[in-house]
A = this chain, B = another copy of it.
Amino acid sequence: MAKRNTIQRQLVIAAVRFLADHPTAEEVYDRITMEYPDISKGTVYRNLNSLVESGLLGKVSVPSGADRFDHILARHYHIKCTHCGKFMNVENFEYIPDMDEKVAKVTNYKMNHHDIVFSGVCPECQKLGDEVNGEELGNDFN
């Protein structure tokens, strides 16, 4: 049960914090190999998962893409640009615990939490779209 405090484990935590913006396992691995080339990808995956289980990191599963890891533990929502795929936190928008209670009532689940992923076209892609054309921005389903 007790987790050993290995160098690799520390490096994984440090990398996720350093990369900050929802790195994938691959990105964490790449970052670590810069200073510690001998780590294996399996170890990165094992540590990421173990840290998530311990509650030290969050895991965000992204539609059509690798899972991402999050050093911010406070509940928050995410937004994905359907045009460029960029994935970010939604700032200035509070987690709504109310919804858990309401859904618990209608479903009889013992509610834990909820994840929201907003989909839309980011300001940068909107500009690009305007230049190219007024085309079908925002018709993607994911």
Contacts of A110 in B (CB 8 A): 120-121, 126, 137-138
B118/A100 in contact, CB under 8 A: yes
B120/A109 in contact, CB under 8 A: yes
Flag A100-112 by CB within 8 Å of B: 1 or 0 each: 1011101111111
Please give the number of chain A residues whose Cβ is less than 8 angstroms from any Cβ of chain B in the complex. 47
Q: A116-B115, A123-B109 are in contact. Are A141 and B61 (CB under 8 A)?
A: no
Q: Does A64 contact B (CB under 8 A)?
A: yes
Contacts of A79 in B (CB 8 A): 103, 107, 109
Which 5 pairs from chain A and chain B are nearest by CB?
A: A109-B120, A61-B63, A111-B120, A110-B121, A114-B118
Chain A residues engaging chain B, CB cutoff 8 angstroms: 52-53, 55, 58-59, 61-64, 67, 77, 79, 81-82, 90-93, 99-100, 102-104, 106-123, 126, 137-138, 140-142
